[in-house]
Structures are given as C-alpha cells and as structure tokens.
Structure 1
Amino acid sequence: MFAELLQPDSLLPEELDLYLADGWFRMGQSIFTTNFLRFHDHFYSAIWLRIDLFSFEITNTQKKLLKQNARFRVEIQPAVLKTEQEELFARYRENITFETSPSLSHLLFDNGRGNIYNTYEINIYDQSRLIAGGFFDLGATSAAGINCYYDPEYKKYSLGKFLMFLKMDFCRERGFEFFYPGYFAPGYSMFDYKLDLAKSALQYLDLTTQFWNPVSEIASYSIPVEVMTEKLQKLSLILKENDFEHSFLYYDFFDAGLVSYLSGMGLMEFPVFIYCLKTDANIYNPIVVYDVRDNLYHLVLSSCMYETEKRKTLINHYSSHLLKVEKDLFANESAEIMAAVILQSIRKQQTV
C-alpha cells in the first residue's frame, strides 16, 4: 500500500517500533503511511527518515545552539496538555505560512479521544514564560518527533532545531536506538531542515527495497514519483508515435486511503497513470501504471467508484472520480512490450 490509515484501539511500544521502521507515523490517534505528497498542485515523493542514535554525534552548530540557549529552562515529562501550550500554539499558527492542525488537542488527541501513544512533552521557558514546546512518542527502543512550536518573538533562537536536538538527546541518554522525525520531500524545501539534524547518523527508507540507507546516498537515489513519471512518459511517446489515443494524467486522489471511511477499500494509489481510452465512468477502463516496488509497467482495469464534487480540473489531472484497480491484466518491465500489448489488444476498441 502506498497510502494507508489504521485506527488501532491500543498500541504497544514494540508495535510502534515496528510501524516506524516500516515508514508509518502518527496522525492524531491513528497511524498512517504515505509515499506521495501534493503541494500547490505539484506531486512529490515522501521519503521517510530516521536517526541512528547510537552513531549520532553532536555537531558544532548544535553545540553553539546549546550555548546560545543555555539560559532557558527546559522541562521534559509525560504529556499533560495545558492552556498555556494551546495559547502559544495559536500564536505560532498565526505566524507560519503552511497549514497545520487548528489546535494541539486536535493534533494529538483528536479533540478528546484517549491516547494510545506514550507521549512526552518538552517545554522551554524564559524564566516563567513558555516560549516553545513540542511532543514526541516513545516506543520500546524508538521514538517519533510529532511537532515543535515556538513564540514568534523568539524566532532568532532557532527553537525548532533546539527542540529537535533536545528530543534526540533525551532518547539517546535512555538507550533508544532510533529517532524518527517524519519525512522530507525532494524538491520541496519546507522539510529540508530535517536533513541537517544529524547528517552522519541520518537514514532514509528506500521504497523499492524497504531497506534503510545512509542519507549520504540520497543523491543517487531514484525518486519514486520522478521514476513513475519518466517511465510513463516514455510509454506515452511510443503510443503517440503509433497514433494511439490516450491520456497521460496525474491522479488527484492518490491518497484517498488516508480518509478513515475510505481506508481499506483498495482505491488506486498511483499519483500518475495513462488512460488508454476515453474516460467512461460506466465501464471498466484500461489504464497503465508504473510500480517502483517491482519496476514493472502494469496494465490494469479500473473502475470509477465515486463521483467527486464538480470543480475546475487542472490540465493533465484526473479528479472526476475515485478510482479502484479491479484487475491486473499484464505486467512487463519494457515500455516497448507494454506498448505492443496495448496496440494489439486495445486499439481496436477505439474504432468501435
């Protein structure tokens, strides 16, 4: 599954360790995974990160940060959400340019549900004034950083980075093996700060192999959404050369599985695909996807499950229906062979 949401009634520390190691993360009182993202109508790959705390070494930059912020008081304890934290988070939200949860209660506890996670809070005070805070979850040998927020008046103190370091140091001192800061998205700079947290100890999860590799190798890593796009564009070019009518499309609802009532329905999760015929909501439609997990083109039959709200559709985007893959018809690693199969088995339908 490229995108999935689970809502367990309970979660043991050892279970959280396993989920984190497989590229899952907390969402309120649920846990989810995703491999693709969409920001400002552009598609990106979500590359999951973790820090090997056994090999983590404090950097000179972090030493300077510790010295700069030495006068502040730090408290780390089991999470007990207070009004002053919500008030500071509200001020923080007013001064950021990206979307986040409307409140800490919503972010952590779905506005009132019990907590299945072992959540800790970290608070930073300038004398008696709360100036920054954050939350992180503890497993058995791993921890996940959930969020950081700070007073806009103290922006020059780099309190976000300071909080991340303090969380990692807390876990390292207690013998934890890994710290998971979430994902970053190549080409989308908002998450790039995570790459500087602990370069020598930072690892990324390879979607194809499911192995964790040193982030120093990321330069040679083939970004999944880029591979999918390039492979399908190659196939599209061959089809065009053979005058075969088709559509190269980005799928706006690739992450519909993250909606609780849609999770587990087997909806299509590929962010880009080729429609082999004119779209018809009343029949099974042949489409082609490229799966980086097996490095194969797949010719599949898709059905239109739900019609979405009418809205302006971007060029080369599909958004009229939620799609479901009904049957895998043929798979091959070669664009030429896939094109030949399409031309032989589907072309005649275009003249009917």
Structure 2
Amino acid sequence: MDRLWATGWRHFGSTFFRYSLSIDENHVRSITPLRVDLPRFELSKSQRRVLRKNEDLRHEFAPATLSMQARLMFQRHKNRFKDNVPDDLDMFLSPHPATVPCECVECRVYEGRELIALSYLDIGAESCSAVYGLFEPDHDWRSLGIYTMLRELEYSRERGLRYYYPGYATLEPSPYDYKKQLHGLETLDWDSGDWRRLPRSIPKPQL
C-alpha cells in the first residue's frame, strides 16, 4: 500500500485507480495527489480553532465497519452534494473494510452518546491514506470534515507513521482546497514521479 500511494494510486472498496485529469461542470481539472510529511506537520491557527470549538466532543478509533448507523448517516450526509452524488457507502469500502484491501480504521466522533461523524483511514507499513469522511448535516457548523482529518493526523503520528495521504485535489480552485492548507504538504509530479513540497500558491496549468 505504501508503494501504491507513493505513485498516486487510491482505492474505493476493492477498485484501484489513479488519474491526472477530471471533468467537472464542463471544465477540465488537473488532479494532483497530496501527502503530508508528518514530522513537518503543525497546526495552523484556523485548525486550532476547529479543535477548540469541538472540545465538547469525544472521539475514538476502532476497526472499520459497514454498520447500519454509518449507512444511514451517509444517506443524510450525501444530500449536501449536487454533482457526482454516490449511491451508498459501499462505493468507498469493501464488504470487509477492516482488512480488505488493507487494515482500515474508523474515527468515531460523539456528542454525548450521539454519533455525529465518521471517517475511514487506511493503514500501511509507513503511511496511511484517508478514504472518506461523513457527518450529520445538522452539525455542519462544527467543520467536522476538518476535525476528523486533524484527529487522523494525530492518530497517524501516534502510530509512528511517516506520511498521511489526504487524497486528491485540483490545481484549480475547488471545494477540496481545504486539503492544501495542511503544513508539511507535498504534491506528486506525474511526469517525474517525484514528490515536491507544495508551494503556498500553486500556478495554474497552461491550457
């Protein structure tokens, strides 16, 4: 898994893929894989604010499952999207998500006894890769997508891993730009296969 992630591969369930271009709303987008060099990661001011406003929450990591509770939360969560809306959580996880195709854990976030967010994290020998995150729409104000990502980063460092792969982003502005705000970020050069530190301002590709 470490070698696959390092060469830009991802997976949903048992399907592996990689691509450098996508079409979104009739525009061609340039895809770039991202990873965080964990020894260089540090929290930004805005990320610290996310943690502070969620101090009342409790979280735990456990082997990944495809529970009915998770499936129902996914159906509510996906209503936030207008384009490329997935059918169900099975698109992202295998029938045995804790072990296939590799070890996978889930981050469970609770407000009191209520489960309000979940995220799934694949574990390799030296690195890990974020699979998917979801949360109850009523708690949108909490920035739970960023919150679970920060908890995954913390968990990854505690396990002694070197790299955290948050998934793909685009060189052009997109809803996934929050991933570009992580310190210690690197991007894959598709042509050379080298990972390079992500500049604060990514130049737009020549069309």
Q: 1:186 Cα deviation (Å)?
A: 2.0
Q: 1:33 aligns with which of 4, 15, 18?
A: 18
Indicate yes or no: 2:104 matched with 1:119: yes
2:198 alignment counterpart: 215
Q: Which runs of 5+ in 1 are unaligned?
A: 1-15, 230-352
Query: How has the CA–CA distance of structure 1 residues 216 and 29 changed in structure 2, closer, same or farther, with 3 Å as cutoff?
Result: same
Q: 1:106 Cα deviation (Å)?
A: 2.9
Q: Which one-letter code corresponds to 1:17 in the other structure?
A: D
Q: Which one-letter code corresponds to 2:159 in the other structure?
A: R
2:169 alignment counterpart: 184
Do 2:34 and 2:167's aligned partners in 1 also have CA atoms closer than 8 Å?
yes
Query: How has the CA–CA distance of structure 1 residues 168 and 100 changed in structure 2, closer, same or farther, with 3 Å as cutoff?
Result: farther
1:51 alignment counterpart: 36
Q: 1:218 Cα deviation (Å)?
A: 5.5
Q: 1:175 aligns with which of 142, 153, 160?
A: 160
Query: How has the CA–CA distance of structure 1 residues 40 and 110 changed in structure 2, closer, same or farther, with 3 Å as cutoff?
Result: farther
Q: 1:30 Cα deviation (Å)?
A: 1.9
Do 1:44 and 1:188's aligned partners in 2 also have CA atoms closer than 8 Å?
no
Q: Which one-letter code corresponds to 1:207 in the other structure?
A: W
Higher relative contact order structure (alpha carbons within 8 Å, sequence separation ≥ 6):
2
Query: How has the CA–CA distance of structure 1 residues 74 and 117 changed in structure 2, closer, same or farther, with 3 Å as cutoff?
Result: same
Q: Aligned partners of 2:173, 2:42: CA distance in 1, in Å?
A: 27
Q: Aligned partners of 1:218, 1:142: CA distance in 2, in Å?
A: 26
Scaled by the length of structure 2, the TM-score of the pair is: 0.92
1:205 alignment counterpart: 188
Q: Aligned partners of 2:142, 2:202: CA distance in 1, in Å?
A: 31
After TM superposition, the structure 1 = structure 2 runs for residues 1-352 of structure 1, keeping only pairs within 5 Å, are 16-109=1-94, 115-196=100-181, 198-199=182-183, 201-216=184-199, 219-220=202-203, 223=205, 226=206, 229=207
Do 1:101 and 1:107's aligned partners in 2 also have CA atoms closer than 8 Å?
no
Q: Aligned partners of 2:118, 2:188: CA distance in 1, in Å?
A: 28
Q: 1:44 Cα deviation (Å)?
A: 1.4
Query: How has the CA–CA distance of structure 1 residues 218 and 23 changed in structure 2, closer, same or farther, with 3 Å as cutoff?
Result: farther
Q: 1:81 Cα deviation (Å)?
A: 1.9
Query: How has the CA–CA distance of structure 1 residues 98 and 165 changed in structure 2, closer, same or farther, with 3 Å as cutoff?
Result: farther
Identity of aligned residues (%): 27
SS at match of 2:92: helix
CA deviation string 1:37-88 (max 9, x = no partner): 1111211111111000011112222222212111111121111221111111
Q: Which one-letter code corresponds to 1:92 in the other structure?
A: H
Q: Which runs of 5+ in 2 are unaligned?
A: none
Q: Which one-letter code corresponds to 1:214 in the other structure?
A: R
CA deviation string 1:134-184 (max 9, x = no partner): 101000011000111111110111000001111111001111000001111
Do 2:12 and 2:131's aligned partners in 1 also have CA atoms closer than 8 Å?
no
1:6 alignment counterpart: none
What is the RMSD computed on CA atoms of the aligned residues? 1.9
Do 1:105 and 1:111's aligned partners in 2 also have CA atoms closer than 8 Å?
no
CA deviation string 1:301-340 (max 9, x = no partner): xxxxxxxxxxxxxxxxxxxxxxxxxxxxxxxxxxxxxxxx
Query: How has the CA–CA distance of structure 1 residues 109 and 166 changed in structure 2, closer, same or farther, with 3 Å as cutoff?
Result: same
Q: Aligned partners of 2:73, 2:200: CA distance in 1, in Å?
A: 39
Q: Aligned partners of 2:176, 2:48: CA distance in 1, in Å?
A: 22
SS at match of 1:219: coil
Query: How has the CA–CA distance of structure 1 residues 136 and 123 changed in structure 2, closer, same or farther, with 3 Å as cutoff?
Result: same
CA deviation string 1:183-241 (max 9, x = no partner): 11122412211111x13x00101122221111116635x73xx3xx4xxxxxxxxxxxx
Scaled by the length of structure 1, the TM-score of the pair is: 0.55
Q: Aligned partners of 1:171, 1:121: CA distance in 2, in Å?
A: 12
